[in-house]
Amino acid sequence: MIPNILSWLVFLPLAGALLILAIPKENKNVIRSLAAVTVLAAVLLSILVWISFDRTVSGMQFQQLIPWIDLGFVQINYEIGVDGLSVPMLALSSIVTALAVFASFNIQERVKEFYIFILILLTGLFGVFVALDLFLFFLFFELTLIPMFFIIGIWGGKQKTFASFKYLIYTGISGAILIMSFIAIYFIGMQASGWTHSTFSIPALAEIYANPAAPEVLTSGIRGALFLALFIAFAIKIPVFPFHTWQPIAYAEAPTAATMILSGVLLKMGGYGLIRIGIGVFPDQVARFATLIAILGVINIIYGAVLALVQNDLKRLVAFASISHMGIVLLGIASFTAAGIQGAIFQLVSHGFITALLFFMVGALAERTNTRNISELGGLSKSVPVLAGFTLAAVMAAIGLPGLSGFVSELLTLIGVFGAPADILPAAAVFGVLAGLGIILTAAYLLWAVKRTTFGPMQEKYSTLKDARPIEYIPMVGLLGLSLLIGVYPTILTDVINVTVTDILSRIGG
């Protein structure tokens, strides 16, 4: 076991970025190889963390704590660690980023900056998923913002400037709300601890908020306000209706690799944060607002699906599908049961693979046909059978076909929703049935899209398209294979998640 493995993991991509900085920008292949080696090393390290993670111990593992900033009354620590929630997210980040790196080898312009940004982004992602200090969490959270802004703004499509600014404004607001809530949580926590603690540490704050020395500080109103502020900040990221409108255009305009990372991992920070800090520090408030969260979850599911049904742009269609599928995460959290929370976490991982694959396929088809408009496509199975086959497989995964991972998250979440305690989530069955309606709608819009793009008579203008290149098999087989792996044998993932879910539930119960 490597000591301080988490720090190695977090700063490895940054080191790779610095190395690339030193290489002349003409050496594109050297830069690409270096980026590939860095992300592959990150994949190996994150899998090492996965393997070494002790599935029988609750609480944080591989912890590291270094006092960092001490302003007397404000102490910020470099405190990191992982539990069963963060370990899968680390693997997801490294794998999706690695496959995105392979998927972006066809980028020719400003290659050096591109990979520097991607690697910085990965450091930010890792940081978010290991940070146990709110301030540190915020720093990494913001660190992911800047590279993605540049990636969309420089390598994006026609409306890249507009899309990147919209992204920046939304996530900027999200960040601003987040830091303000963190500071408030910090000071109120200090007060609630009877002025004995002054900490940004999430585990310590969870303890303080659960058993305050000065309970009178933590009125129901204060707790509720803090939780809702956090919720909005993360809701923008997930995104939750009505904060979602930055997302379709950002996805549509970003280059394929960036969309894969953005949808596959970056927005998972929202769901992760909601569980880590929302449930972690305010379990009582999650219970209090369970119905609201469930309503928003169901709105996401149905609204996203119905809008996906009328999109003509394939990328926007997948973007709305993504909104719809993130509703599952909210619903799982709102159910307040082991199965539901398991389902929510499972969905974060599963959706990461599936949506990245969908965006990759859309990108691969669009690159060849020069259009993403469904109305201009059709009959692609004839000229590009392999790409069409993988597209269909990705669609089936998104539809929730058993054997692929999406089904397991839907199953677990629905078990949770239908088994939700009536005092926390009244009318749970209604939410469950509406989620079921969403499952039907998902099949409707995705099959409609397939029917119009790969099925149908072949169009003459597409008869000479080249099928998948060897390098494209890496992301396709990789992402589909992972979805298949955790779909056929979900225990490989739930095994890691379960101890933390039990831990969360015991805190909810206590």
Comparing CB distances to another protein, the nearer of 207 and 467 is 467
- Tally of CA atoms within 13 A in the half-sphere of 120 that contains its CB: 21
> Interior CA angle at 244 toward 243 and 247, to 5°?
140
Q: How far is the CB of 418 from another protein (least distance, A)?
A: 5
Q: Are the C-beta atoms of 303 and 323 separated by less than 8 Å?
A: yes
Distances (CA, A) of 390 to 283, 305, 368, 395, 401: 41, 22, 15, 8, 14
> Interior CA angle at 445 toward 390 and 349, to 5°?
55
CA–CA distance, 153 with 160 (Å, rounded to integer): 5
Q: How far is the CB of 23 from another protein (least distance, A)?
A: 22
Comparing CB distances to another protein, the nearer of 184 and 228 is 184
CA–CA distance, 288 with 390 (Å, rounded to integer): 43
Comparing CB distances to another protein, the nearer of 105 and 303 is 303
Q: How far is the CB of 308 from another protein (least distance, A)?
A: 8
Comparing CB distances to another protein, the nearer of 8 and 455 is 455
Q: How far is the CB of 92 from another protein (least distance, A)?
A: 19
Token pair in block for residue 6: 């988490």
Comparing CB distances to another protein, the nearer of 83 and 113 is 113
Q: How far is the CB of 305 from another protein (least distance, A)?
A: 9
The residues, any chain, with a CB within 8 Å of residue 384's CB and separated by 6 or more, are 365, 368, 465, 466, 467, 468
Q: How far is the CB of 490 from another protein (least distance, A)?
A: 5
DSSP H/E element including 64: strand 61-70
Q: How far is the CB of 371 from another protein (least distance, A)?
A: 20
Comparing CB distances to another protein, the nearer of 65 and 242 is 242
- Tally of CA atoms within 13 A in the half-sphere of 504 that contains its CB: 29
Comparing CB distances to another protein, the nearer of 40 and 306 is 306
Q: What is the DSSP string of 370-406?
A: S--BGGG---HHHH-HHHHHHHHHHHHHHHT-TTSHH
Comparing CB distances to another protein, the nearer of 168 and 398 is 168
Q: How far is the CB of 112 from another protein (least distance, A)?
A: 16
Q: How far is the CB of 2 from another protein (least distance, A)?
A: 30
Q: How far is the CB of 391 from another protein (least distance, A)?
A: 12
Q: Which amino acid is at 277?
A: I
Comparing CB distances to another protein, the nearer of 93 and 442 is 442
Q: Are the C-beta atoms of 461 and 375 separated by less than 8 Å?
A: no
Comparing CB distances to another protein, the nearer of 9 and 377 is 377
- Across the chain, which distance is largest between two alpha carbons, in Å? 75
Q: How far is the CB of 344 from another protein (least distance, A)?
A: 12
Q: How far is the CB of 342 from another protein (least distance, A)?
A: 6
* Residue 80 bridge partners (DSSP): 64, 131
DSSP H/E element including 68: strand 61-70
Q: How far is the CB of 179 from another protein (least distance, A)?
A: 5
DSSP H/E element including 232: helix 220-237
Q: Are the C-beta atoms of 412 and 339 separated by less than 8 Å?
A: yes
CA–CA distance, 138 with 124 (Å, rounded to integer): 10
CA–CA distance, 388 with 386 (Å, rounded to integer): 5
Token pair in block for residue 425: 């989530």
CA-CA-CA-CA dihedral for 400, 405, 408, 409, to nearest 10: -80
Token pair in block for residue 321: 């599908």
Among left, alpha and beta (phi > 0; psi -120 to 50; other), residue 110 is left
DSSP H/E element including 61: strand 61-70
What 3-state DSSP class applies to 468?
A: coil
Comparing CB distances to another protein, the nearer of 411 and 485 is 411
Specify the residue for token string 């088994």: 419
Comparing CB distances to another protein, the nearer of 81 and 487 is 487
Comparing CB distances to another protein, the nearer of 172 and 224 is 172
